[in-house]
Every structure is written in C-alpha cells, then in structure tokens.
Structure 1
Amino acid sequence: MVHPAEPEFQQALNELSTTLAPFLAQAPEYKKALEIVQIPERVIQFRVLWEDDQGRPQVNNGYRVQYNSALGPYKGGLRLHPSVNLSILKFLGFEQTFKNALTGINMGGGKGGSDFDPKGKSDNEIRRFCNSFMAELSRHIGKDTDVPAGDIGTGAREIGFFFGAYKKARNEFAGILTGKGASWGGSFIRPEATGYGLVYFVEHMIAHVRSTKTFNSASTLVSISGSGNVAQYAALKAIELGATVISLSDSKGALVRKHTNGEYEGKGLTKEIVLEVQELKAKGGLLSSVRVEGYEFVPGKRPWALLPRVDIALPCATQNEVSGEEAEALINAGVKFVAEGSNMGCTQEAIDVFETSRIQGGPDAVWYAPGKAANCGGVAVSGLEMAQNSQRLTWTPQDVDSKLAGIMSNCYQNCLSTAQRWIKEEEGVLPSLVAGANISGFIKVADAMRAQGDWW
C-alpha cells in the first residue's frame, strides 16, 4: 500500500518492508501479515476544547492510534507538539508495535497526542488542556486495554494532570498511565530508562567488535543530540562509565566542544553541567544560555557535521535528525557506532550510508542500531511499571536497573541472532541490526496475530 499523504508513516513502512524482503523471500507466507499489520486496528480523533488564562476558548486536535494489540494492551506515548498529525502518530505507533515486541514484555503498540504546544503555557492552562484531553481519552484506555505514557512535551507535570483527570472521571486508581510519580504508582529508573538502555545496548555492540563492552575511557568520544530526557540520561550514563561527551543540542542549535585544527580543547561535559541542562530544560530554557568552558553554541545546527572526531553517535532528539550528508560527515569524523535514542532518528539516506559502510567492512565499518531496538529501554521499564502496578508493589532502583540491563541484552542478542539467521553476509561483515530488529519484532507480532486468527 502507498500512503502519499503520510510521509513519515510511508518512510517507516518502506524501511520495514525493505529490510523484511530477504526474510519474506524465504518465508513468503508472511507477506499477508505485512499487508495486514500496517493498518492500525483503531484510530481515534477528537476535539480538545480548553480555556486559556484570559478566559478565551482554545481548541486543538486530539488523537490516539491503537495500532496493534496482538501481544498485549496498546502501549505508547502521548506527544504534545505543534507538529503532531496522523502521519507522525501512525509512524510512531507502527514502530512502537515492533519495538514493544523486542522488549519481551506483553505489550501491543499505540501512540497518541495533540498539536497542543505546552511551551509558553501556564501550569493552569496546561492543567485545563489535560483535563479536557483526558475527558475524551478516558473512554478508550484502561490498564488492560491501552496504557499511554509520556513523550515529547509530556513530562511528569502532564502525566500527573492526565492521571488526576482520569481518576476523577472514572473514580478509580488504576495503572492507566506510566511515567507516574514514584509515590503514586511510578517506577524507579523510568525517567532514566531510555537513555540508560541506549548506552547498555551500545555496550553490547562494542563488545561484539572489540571484546569489551565498556565505555570506560576518556578517549571514547560520544556525540549526543537533543537535551531532553533521553539525551540527558544517555550523557549521564556515558559520563558515569568514563567516556567523554562532546555535544548536546536543542531546536535552536548545538552545544559542541571547541576544536582547533582537528584537536579538541578543554574537557568533556561533566555530570554537573548535564544536571544544569536538566534543570534548565525543566523550566523551558534554551541550551544557548548554558555557559561551558571549552564549548560553543552553534545556532541553527545539529552536532553531526561540526565535530572533527567522533567514536559513538547517539541521535536523541527527534525523527529524521541525521541526513545522508551528516551521516557522511560522521563517517569522515571516524564514527564506529551509531544508535538511535530517538525514533527514526536517521533519514533513509543516512541509514543507507551507514549500512553501506557496514557491508564494505574493514576497520572503518560503521555499525548502526535502529531506535526500535536501541531505545526500547524506556517502554520496557514502562512495562515493568505496569507489572508493579498490578502487584501494588514498588521495586528498588537496583532491581529495575538490573531488569533493564537484562532486557537490553536480550533485545540485542535477538536482533543479532535473527540477522545472522536470515541475512546472508560476506565473511567478516557485521550483521545488520536494523534487519535483525525488524525481522525479529515482525515475526513475533505476526505469529501472535496468526494464532489469534488475524491472518492465515
């Protein structure tokens, strides 16, 4: 099927279909499953009417795409951003379906949100919007039906408002959202999970190539984009392990380490600087206001083409944030590992550049990991939060972090072994993690759909 009016969704569908081709050639009976799984089970669209601080009515679009429930309740975030539309939410829900499958936890895929922009709004305006949004969404979700979470624009404040509105509307205290506060049903490590899990996944990639999975060298240069939740905790974990973080970014530009004639000045970002960025972003501030010795803010740019040397690149901002040209720049800078903390962070052109480098092999080969595998730690801990809610228990941070590390290890091993089974490569060529992730997630979802009579 072709979806010309939905470019983001079409991109995600094309990427999956292309990498599934070698598998489908060997198992053609699964072609019908691909035709069926690309259509969401349900799309809900509604009006969100709310009142601003001047007493004037404002209106936004609200959405929930309930994509696939073959493996469990629909699970995926609520995005609040002016760019939100059905194409973006369908792409995200489609990706979420296979990402959730890779966690090994019984969760289906979904996504939702609104074109409402929390930036510049007062707490009272955001609360009124959340109350109105949840008044409609509460009809369609439940702890065994659909369990949304946070996403871009939906942080702890918004989750709290959404949960309170649901509780009042339905008169029940239930685990119908994840990302809740630790004292009222949330899980430890949930804020950190996507960024931590991303680093854990890359550790396994490094171990496969170099027989060690540690970041524990200051000479390991890690470039990160974004400065939100995922970027913050990926940076903190990389710093904790001993690597050097050389960039962050936001929608206005990139904060990058200064260099002269290809040699870096000063030191990497410290934990204290990242925590300062975290506090700044919690207040809606801009990265350009952060002053760091040895770093400069470059307006209107992403970090990828600004750095002379990079070992590991972690796109953690938003979709399509690495272009083909920027992928070439990263290769010229010596990058060896690229793993997406954002969903579909690389354009298809960038993926093609990285995959071509991998296939060519040799010491300069780049190994790329797609977001549906590398960043599944966030939704994995959301699944663990659902389990804790069902038991009315709270596990320790150490327990949750240990389970997260195990989930990321299993996800990596599944992607690796699936690629090795279904994709024939030249001797010495690294397996395609993007193919491994897509095939592994797809088979799991398709087999569950077939068992339930959704295709035959």
Structure 2
Amino acid sequence: MVDVETYINDLKETITHRDPNQSEFQEAVFTVLDSLKPVLKKHPEYVKANILASLVEPERVIQFRVPWQDDEGNFHVNRGFRVQFNSAIGPYKGGLRLHPSVNLSIVKFLGFEQILKNSLTGLPIGGGKGGSDFDPKGKSDSEIMRFCQSFMTELQKFIGPDLDVPAGDIGVGGREIGFLYGQYKRLNGFQGGILTGKGLEYGGSLARTEATGFGLIYYLNALIKDQGDTLKGKTVKISGAGNVAIYALKKAQENGANVVTVSDSNGYVYDPNGIDLATVKQIKEVERGRIKEYADRVSTAKYFEGSVWDLDIDYDIALPCATQNEIDETQAKLMVKDGVKYVAEGANMPSNSAAIAVYKDSKIVYGPAKAANAGGVAVSALEMSQNSERLSWTFEDVDNRLKDIMENIYQKSADADKEYDLGKDFQAGANIAGFEKVAKAMLAQGLV
C-alpha cells in the first residue's frame, strides 16, 4: 500500500519541478492536496488510479497573442489565456479576467479552484478559466471593443456551448461580455449558450449580476445559523466595490447587518453609520469612478489609502470581495484582535495560507472562496439551462434556486467535516466534498 504522505509529497515535488515559478497555482493546489489526505486513506483506489496526478494537470492550456489598436492609432499586443482544466462532470466553465496581473499561474490557480467550486454546486459543469493581461481601466469603449473582438477571434476556435462556456470575472462585465458575444456570433452564427453573464436582451439570466454577492450571504447565513448565531446586528467589513461587494453589501443590509467599509485598488472608505448602497452604485456602476469620491459625498465617511484590512476597529464579520491574496498573516492577526468571528470569501483565494492558518488557530469560522463565492458560476450554469430551453426564468425563481444551491454547498462541506472529523474545518470539508464527486467521475471514465 502506498503511503499517503509520501504520495502527496511526491506529487508536490513534481508540480514544483514542472511549474517552478507558478506560486499562485502551487499555493492553491498544495492547500487542496493536504486537505485530501483523510479521503485518500479511506479510499486507496484513488491513489492506485493516481487520480490526483490527473486532477492537478490541465486537460488543455491555450495561450495566444491579442493584437489591438488604441484610439490614437497605436498598436499593442497582449497575452490571452484559456485553461481547460477538467471536464469529468461537464463542459469547462469559468470566467475571463482582464487585469495586468493575469499570467499562466493566476489562470491555472483559478481554473483548478473552479473544478471543485463547480462540483460543489451540484450542477454538471467542469472547471476552466481564462483572460488576459490587458488593463481595461482608462480605456475607451471603442478600445475595449477592439480588444474584445481580437481576443474572441482567437478564443472562439477552442470554445462551444457543449465544450467550454466562459463568463465574466475581474475586468469583464456586461460591456465586455457583449463585445465578446457579438464577435463570436459574427464568426460562428447564433449560439446563445456560448457565454454567460449576457445582457437580458440576448439570452442573459435575471439575478446573474447579483448572484455572487447574494450567494455569499446565503452561504454565510447557513454557516452562521449552524453555529447558533444570526447575521442581524453584526458589524461587517467588506473589501472591493465591484459586483460581488455591492450585492453582498445589499443582501447583508437586508439581513440586518451594518456594513462599514468598501474599497478599491487605491484605498477604502469607513462609514461607521453604514455604507450607503445607492452612493456606491452611482460611483462605481454609473460613473465608473474611484471609491474615494464616496467620502466627498457622505459626511460620516472617511477615506484612507491602503488596505481595508489594516483598519483597526471592532467588528464581527470579514467579507473579502476584492482579489487574491489581499489578506496576509499580520492582517489576519488584527482580525483576531478586533473580535472577528467569521470570514467568508467573496473573492477567489483572498486570504493567503498564513492568514488561513491564523483563522484556524484562533477558531475564527472560515468559509473558503470555492464554497462561499460559488453563486456566480451556479447562476451561470442556470443561464446555460435557460439558453438550452429557450426560456427565461423569473428573478424569484433563479434567486430561490441560488439560495438552495448555496445552502446545499454549506451542508455538503459541513457533512464532509463531520464524516472525516475535521473539527469545523469547512475549507477542508469543501475541498473533500468537491473532490469526491470529480474523483468518482474520473475513476468511472478510465485513463483519459
């Protein structure tokens, strides 16, 4: 019998040797591998079939150049990526990210996380991710359109409604999805299910915009309720000011919480009276401005440069909704000092491994991204279903399905935690619950 510790360590060494500079990918994969040890001890058939070696290696990695022209006539070339990671339970599904930080390591880490996240939803979708190091900030609509058309001209060779269905992510909202979809349709004819996050006028789903933020709070409510607690009356810090943060803010306020911060890449605002949702939406969604303008319009708010996680105030719940690795060990220790009881992640991998260790050591109840922020991809999959049926469901119908999915995700994680006696480690519970479905499918399908 193969020793599980040796098996995991050998696999880590292989990954480090093959991808020595992919730190984000290694961080994501190693965390999952460590949490799967109890499963491998209980199910040696996964070790015998070497399932993990296949799981951590993408089925396909696509990298391409994206030439485009700015409004002054200058030519630029960016890199485009699509990682089609695992299709054991369905077509590849995952967002496209436009941000200067995008590289192969980032896209692979996101794609790997997407495998387990998509599995947790209970819907038949595999894991993938993509994007480009193009920076949409400061670009005109015409420049964004030319970039998106160039990007899709290459990407369309590798995607399809039953093969790979991209969606939005950081830097890719309704405007970008529209341009991408239009170019795909121009080259291939109408295929309504080729992208999700579409406008309602051409096959989008009601509640898709709200899905990740709403889903985060549905998951948080289930987690808190299981601890015999309630969201009502809690003080909450949120980072970010995009779709996830805005709709997490909205739903948290509806549940009686007092949300006192939002942020962007320059800094954050602190409003002890509670963030005014309408003002944030006006600045970020309508004017596409910076969050510092909030403090100019709301007299009770103060603006600070830097990270919201450096703000030293008493609060109960942390909802990081900005970007990966935004919380480090020092900031996590400040959370402990400030009395934080719960952390639920709206962004992808916003807490680094040292921060997560602090959460667990201090008994902060931790809801990991792959479980807590799965609402976006869940409603994307529901959009695919509506496209296939040529139907449009009501907001209430989609929202109710989303709520059920998020509560089930928490329950699956909690059940795995109990089955393997993990001590309320819902990160490991989510990893195990997501993995077991994928592993069974891979085992059934043979050496592919």
Q: Same fold (TM over 0.5)?
A: yes
Which residue does the alignment assign to 2:288? 284
Gaps of 5+ in 1: 258-265, 359-365, 426-430
2:121 to 103, 107, 112: 103
Indicate yes or no: 2:214 matched with 1:196. Answer: yes
CA distance in 2, matches of 1:168, 1:272: 37
CA distance in 2, matches of 1:163, 1:252: 31
AA matched with 1:245:
V
CA distance in 1, matches of 2:265, 2:170: 12
CA distance in 2, matches of 1:15, 1:216: 33
Indicate yes or no: 2:375 matched with 1:370. Answer: no
Indicate yes or no: 2:228 matched with 1:235. Answer: no
Deviation string for 1:388-410 (max 9, x for gaps)?
A: 00000000000000000000011
2:437 to 422, 432, 444: 444
AA matched with 1:42:
R
Which residue does the alignment assign to 1:178? 196
Is residue 236–residue 274 contact of structure 1 (8 Å, CA) maintained in 2? no
Which residue does the alignment assign to 2:45? 29
Which residue does the alignment assign to 1:152? 170
CA distance in 1, matches of 2:260, 2:44: 46
2:84 to 63, 66, 82: 66
Deviation at 1:378, TM superposition (A): 0.5
Deviation string for 1:248-278 (max 9, x for gaps)?
A: 1111012123xxxxxxxx5111332332343
CA distance in 1, matches of 2:311, 2:67: 43
CA distance in 2, matches of 1:355, 1:28: 28
AA matched with 2:210:
E
Counterpart of 1:25 in 2: which secondary structure? Answer: helix
Counterpart of 1:78 in 2: which secondary structure? Answer: strand
AA matched with 1:202:
L
Is residue 235–residue 274 contact of structure 1 (8 Å, CA) maintained in 2? no
CA distance in 2, matches of 1:344, 1:277: 26
Counterpart of 2:36 in 1: which secondary structure? Answer: helix
Q: Equivalent residues in 2 for 1:53-452 (5 A)? A: 53-210=71-228, 212=229, 214-217=230-233, 220-257=234-271, 267-279=273-285, 282-291=286-295, 292-299=298-305, 301-358=306-363, 366-425=364-423, 431-452=424-445
Which residue does the alignment assign to 1:12? 28
Is residue 60–residue 84 contact of structure 2 (8 Å, CA) maintained in 1? yes
Which residue does the alignment assign to 1:428? none
Is residue 284–residue 290 contact of structure 2 (8 Å, CA) maintained in 1? no
Counterpart of 1:407 in 2: which secondary structure? Answer: helix
Deviation at 1:296, TM superposition (A): 1.1
Gaps of 5+ in 2: 1-13
Percent identity, aligned pairs only, is 53
Deviation string for 1:119-171 (max 9, x for gaps)?
A: 11111111111111111111111100000000101110000000000000002
Q: TM-score, normalised by structure 1?
A: 0.92
Is residue 119–residue 284 contact of structure 1 (8 Å, CA) maintained in 2? no
Deviation at 1:283, TM superposition (A): 3.8
CA distance in 2, matches of 1:172, 1:367: 46
Is residue 222–residue 245 contact of structure 1 (8 Å, CA) maintained in 2? yes
Is residue 246–residue 277 contact of structure 2 (8 Å, CA) maintained in 1? no
Deviation at 1:53, TM superposition (A): 1.2
AA matched with 2:205:
S
Is residue 91–residue 164 contact of structure 2 (8 Å, CA) maintained in 1? yes
Deviation at 1:424, TM superposition (A): 4.6
AA matched with 2:220:
V
Deviation at 1:383, TM superposition (A): 0.4
Is residue 224–residue 245 contact of structure 1 (8 Å, CA) maintained in 2? yes
AA matched with 1:164:
G
Deviation string for 1:98-121 (max 9, x for gaps)?
A: 000000000000000111111111
CA distance in 2, matches of 1:4, 1:396: 48
CA distance in 1, matches of 2:416, 2:224: 18
Is residue 256–residue 307 contact of structure 1 (8 Å, CA) maintained in 2? no
CA distance in 1, matches of 2:277, 2:141: 29
Which residue does the alignment assign to 2:11? none
